[in-house]
Amino acid sequence: MKIEAPRIGSFIPPVRTLMGPGPSNVSTRVLDAMQRQTIGHLDPEFVGMMDDLKVLLQYAFQTANELTIPVSGPGSAGMETCFVNLIEPGDTVIVCQNGVFGGRMKENVQRCGATPVMVEDDWGMPVDPDKLEAALQTNPEATTVAFVHAETSTGAQSDAEALVELAHQYDCLAIVDAVTSLGGTPLKVDKWGVDAVYSGSQKCLSAPPGLSPVSFGERAATRIRTRTTPVQSWFLDLNLVMGYWGEGASRSYHHTAPINALYGLHESLLILAEEGLETAWTRHRANHDDLVSGIESLGLSFVVPEAARLPQLNAVSVPVGVDEAAIRSRLLTDFDLEIGAGLGVLAGKVWRIGLMGHTSTPENVAYVTKAIGTVLAD
């Protein structure tokens, strides 16, 4: 039987204002960079770009870690990279959960054949250091602590510096989820002593989804090199990946890198460096403060206490009797404006409004506030 060619035209996406939990809007400059000529992933010119990209990532993470690279995959691939390389069967790992993504950490631990010990806080609250310390005292065999710096499902920000310090006091490595924090709120990998950290390209870096920056300190790198069992993922085994992302012009083939996507990440990191990290952090905070004023003027409230709010991801309580999905649908249809729904125990109870990277502007704050006010009034 002959199968005819489908009569399908090119896909032309609508122009949206992306103010959900990710992706954020991508600047024309980044999109232009991704249109540049594709070259080989072992081409000397591309290798030079890779070296520059590592330097830019080190700046964004505020680290001198040599093992700082973008994993070819979304933030979830970065998460799995950290766990499969650092956790071995039989290990005990203390996992802090105050939202959806702490739960995903737990699943990674279990799939590595290790035992997770859960430290749980209410959704919308930061991780409680006292609870973590109690778990460390009760489980002296633990090798690792894992927590989310900026919980995307709730908009709560935990004290990463304090949690890492506790992990080290009990001779544990610290794995930190910085998917939503990198580039938007202070993250100081070397100063805080973070052992392993992962993020995503599509949040405050405002590149398209599909790449996950990671960084490993020397203690973590030593654990990877001295494992007694093979890393369970061939593709994410850093002992192999570093043959491609290592120093010098000579790189060993591991996989075909997403060349044009890396052009985009490179350009987005250039934009961040030109603005300056501290300036970017200040911008996100200022726009968050304006959003708070606007949202509260509509009679709405935030889930997270003020002191723990993440500037770039805001969970707003849905008023009683309001169909939250219908509101989001109207915003998308009438205003080409995307905001996010709640996840897990917050499903149907909150809207998640993102102010990340290129999207974080005073104009967008005013736009989303006016649009929500208009639709609610209707």
Q: What is the pLDDT of residues 351-369, one digit of tens each?
A: 999 999 999 999 999 999 9
Same structural domain, 167 and 228: yes
Same structural domain, 228 and 326: no
Between 254 and 100, residue with greater pLDDT: 100
Q: Is residue 1 part of a domain?
A: no
Of residues 86, 83, 137, the one with CA closest to residue 110: 83
CATH number for position 290? 3.90.1150.10
Residue 252 confidence (pLDDT) = 80
Same structural domain, 265 and 322: no
Same structural domain, 282 and 268: no
Q: Is residue 3 part of a domain?
A: no
Q: Is residue 12 part of a domain?
A: no
Which residues, at least 6 apart from 5, have a Cβ–Cβ distance to it below 8 Å? none
Whether 152 contacts 303, CB under 8 Å: no
pLDDT > 70: percent of the chain:
99
Same structural domain, 255 and 286: no
Residue 246 confidence (pLDDT) = 74
Distance between CA atoms of residues 251 and 272, nearest Å: 28
pLDDT band of residue 121 (cuts 50, 70, 90) is very high
- Residue type for 150, please? A
Same structural domain, 99 and 238: yes
Tell which of 254, 273, 292 closes a domain.
Answer: 273
CATH number for position 247? 3.40.640.10
Distance between CA atoms of residues 105 and 178, nearest Å: 13
- Quote the Cα angle for 242-246-249, to 5°: 140
As a 3-state breakdown, the chain gives helix, strand, coil percent values, each rounded to 5, of: 45, 15, 40
Task: Tell me the two tokens of residue 11.
Answer: 């896909």
Same structural domain, 86 and 111: yes
Max Cα–Cα distance, the chain, nearest Å: 68
Q: pLDDT tens across 129-164, in order?
A: 999 999 999 999 999 999 999 999 999 999 999 999
- Residue type for 355, please? L
Cβ neighbours around 241 below 10 Å, total: 22
Q: Is this model's pTM higher than 0.85 or not?
A: yes
Q: Is residue 199 part of a domain?
A: yes
Same structural domain, 104 and 208: yes
Average pLDDT for the chain: 96
Q: Is residue 135 part of a domain?
A: yes
State which residues form the domain around 340. 17-22+277-377
Q: DSSP H helical segments within the chain, as ranges?
A: 28-34, 44-61, 75-86, 100-111, 129-138, 160-169, 189-192, 218-225, 238-245, 259-275, 277-297, 324-335, 362-377
Distance between CA atoms of residues 182 and 180, nearest Å: 6
Q: Is residue 75 part of a domain?
A: yes
90: left (phi over 0), alpha (psi -120 to 50) or beta: left
Tell which of 241, 273, 305 closes a domain.
Answer: 273
Residue 225 confidence (pLDDT) = 94
Same structural domain, 268 and 282: no
Q: pLDDT tens across 261-298, in order?
A: 999 999 999 999 999 999 999 999 999 999 999 999 99
Q: Is residue 9 part of a domain?
A: no
Q: pLDDT tens across 80-99, in order?
A: 999 999 999 999 999 999 99
pLDDT band of residue 243 (cuts 50, 70, 90) is confident
Domain count, the chain: 2
Torsion of CA 112, 117, 123, 125, to 10 degrees: -120
pLDDT > 90: percent of the chain:
94
Of residues 232, 229, 218, 276, the one with CA closest to residue 60: 276
In which residue are the tokens 């093979």 written?
230
Residue 170 confidence (pLDDT) = 98
Q: Is 114 helix (H, G, I), strand (E, B) or coil?
A: coil
Same structural domain, 78 and 116: yes
Distances (CA, A) of 67 to 193, 195, 244, 324: 14, 11, 12, 43
Tell which of 239, 258, 273 closes a domain.
Answer: 273
Task: Tell me the two tokens of residue 245.
Answer: 């992302």
Secondary structure (DSSP) of 155-185? TEE--HHHHHHHHHHTT-EEEEE-TTTTTTS
Q: Is residue 363 part of a domain?
A: yes
Distance between CA atoms of residues 300 and 281, nearest Å: 25
Of residues 205, 240, 188, the one with CA closest to residue 84: 240
Residue 249 confidence (pLDDT) = 53
Residue 56 confidence (pLDDT) = 98
Same structural domain, 256 and 240: yes
Distance between CA atoms of residues 119 and 282, nearest Å: 31
Whether 219 contacts 213, CB under 8 Å: no
Of residues 269, 277, 276, 203, the one with CA closest to residue 56: 269
Same structural domain, 267 and 288: no
